[in-house]
Amino acid sequence: MIRAVAEGALKPGKTPLDVMLKNMRYYDDKAEAAMKWVETKLTNPKSQPKEVLALLHELSEYRMQAQKCACEAAPYVHPKLASIEHRKVDDRITAKPEVQMTDEELDDYYNKLRTRPTTHVPLIIDNETGDEAVIENEDAAAY
């Protein structure tokens, strides 16, 4: 029953968001017109300060109404950004030389290598030897 009332309250093509945006534009247009009047009054030496102050007050009211409508419509038009926690991930895989590993350690080592996500960052393997990698094939060094 509540759903039927809610659906009946909405005219086709006229949602609450449509009304909020229409009101926002209405007050924004009124504020622009009031600003032109203020500029005209300020350039006219015969204008009275009370007139200018009254127009500035009117301009301020229109701006505040436009702002209020914009704030109410914004969540429907511009989604909020989700909070994301950024952490630096250490992709190093620590291992001793393969000849010194047990079968379980080798399985774990290769599983870690296999499940590592693809990336443009080169793989760094810390093998506790401290030795630099020796490239035996000169052609492989070009790649």
**9: in domain:** no
Mean pLDDT of 92-110: 80
Residues 18 and 73 in one domain: yes
> How big is the chain, counted in residues?
143
Distance CA 88, CA 4 (A): 52
Of 52, 77, 102, the residue that ends a domain is 77
**8: in domain:** no
pLDDT confidence of residue 141: 47
Mean pLDDT of 25-37: 93
Of 27, 44, 77, the residue that ends a domain is 77
**Token pair belonging to 98:** 């393969």
CA angle 19, 22, 25 (to 5 degrees): 150
Please, what is the average pLDDT of the chain? Answer: 77
**69: in domain:** yes
**129: in domain:** yes
Residues 72 and 100 in one domain: no
Range of the domain at 58: 14-77
Distance CA 16, CA 9 (A): 10
Residues 57 and 106 in one domain: no
DSSP helix/strand/coil, 14: strand
Q: Residue 106 in contact with residue 129, Cβ under 8 Å?
A: no
Better-predicted residue by pLDDT, 25 or 49: 25
Instruction: Say yes or no to pLDDT of 62 above 80.
Output: yes
Instruction: Tell me the pLDDT band of 87, cut-offs 50, 70 and 90.
Output: low
Please, where are the H alpha helices in 1-143? Answer: 2-9, 16-43, 49-77, 103-115, 138-141
Better-predicted residue by pLDDT, 121 or 108: 108
**82: in domain:** no
**40: in domain:** yes
Q: How many domains is the chain built from?
A: 2
Instruction: Say yes or no to pLDDT of 111 above 70.
Output: yes
Percent of the chain clearing pLDDT 70 (strictly above) = 64
Better-predicted residue by pLDDT, 89 or 54: 54
Instruction: Say yes or no to pLDDT of 31 above 90.
Output: yes
